[in-house]
Structure 1
């Protein structure tokens, strides 16, 4: 069983470390930053979105837990923001830990998320996926996401 639980302040530092590595690696690979530059950019983005910590933001950060209540374990993270006037939500980060991929957790998470968003009047769910992330693209296509454009970047020397 999957549960989306609001991230606690004491868990945010572990997420910050994960983000600096994962998002930083994505930035380095796709935009040509050094790993140190990319980690700084990733950390600055979190600081910008959560200036006073996790409880003071209009962004929503969840821990994904798998298993029965008494033995549930952390298996990933979900970060999104709802823009009520536009009836949209944007997923900033969705991550399932390596050992838990391929067993339906992603599908279950999106089912729960879509139910929550629909109850709030959200009509569109948006995200960005790295061009080299084939596994994620396959999941999103299975969940009926449509490609609406392509992000393209050129490094000017």
Structure 2
């Protein structure tokens, strides 16, 4: 991802992820938006130049000019030889055309060449499309994240 592409990506990610956070955690969208903005400022303080973070634009190289079809962001843990997918999205107009599977297979091959041993990720429980792509590319469920909000106004 180039510097000039980052702002558009960040705006899109914050908007989409805050809706997911609000839905999954049962909090108002305004609170989710503020939470996601804080997390992004912490996770990517130097934007695309943040150490240990890899942000990529996914393109359809069969088209001239190439078309942007999605994004992939992952965090590298070099000591543990693990990559953790932070965000992976294929735009709705390009879903169901194999771009997700191709991107994950290319990522896997690239990480293997670099000596990585594992790819991890978290997926929302209601995101069936993503779960399908992960299932068919060899990912498996290793646990379930759970959450319970605490009402700080009640003793």
TM over 0.5: yes
Match of 2:72 in 1: 78
Q: Give CA deviations for 1:36-74 in whole Å, capped at 9, x if unaligned.
A: 221222222221122122124320000001133641111
Structure whose alpha-carbon radius of gyration is higher:
2
Corresponding residue for 1:23?
Answer: 17
Cα-to-partner distance string for 1:101-139 (whole Å, 9 max, x where unaligned): 001001100111011100111111000000000111111
Count of residues in Structure 1 that have an aligned counterpart in Structure 2:
151
5+ residue gaps, structure 1, are 1-6
Residue 26 of structure 2: aligned partner = 32
TM-score in terms of structure 2 length: 0.92
Counting only pairs closer than 5 Å after superposition, residues 1-157 of structure 1 correspond to structure 2 as: 7-68=1-62, 70-157=64-151
Query: Contact between 2:73 and 2:86, CA under 8 Å: does it hold in 1?
Result: yes
Could you tell me which runs of 5 or more consecutive residues in structure 2 were left unpaired when the two chains were aligned. none
Task: Give the Cα–Cα distance (whole angstroms) in 1 for the partners of residues 52 and 13 of structure 2.
Answer: 19
Question: Residue 52 of structure 2 contacts residue 77 of structure 2 at CA under 8 Å; is this kept in 1?
Answer: no
Q: Is the 8 A contact 2:70 2:89 kept in 1?
A: yes
Contact 1:51 1:57 in 2 (8 A): no
SS at match of 1:86: coil
Task: Output the TM-score relative to the length of structure 1.
Answer: 0.91
For 1:11, what is the secondary structure of its paired residue?
helix
Native 8 Å contact 1:19 1:43 kept in 2 = no
- Whether contact under 8 Å (1:16, 1:43) holds in the other structure is no
Write out the 4+ residue segments of structure 1 that deviate beyond 4 Å after TM superposition.
Answer: none
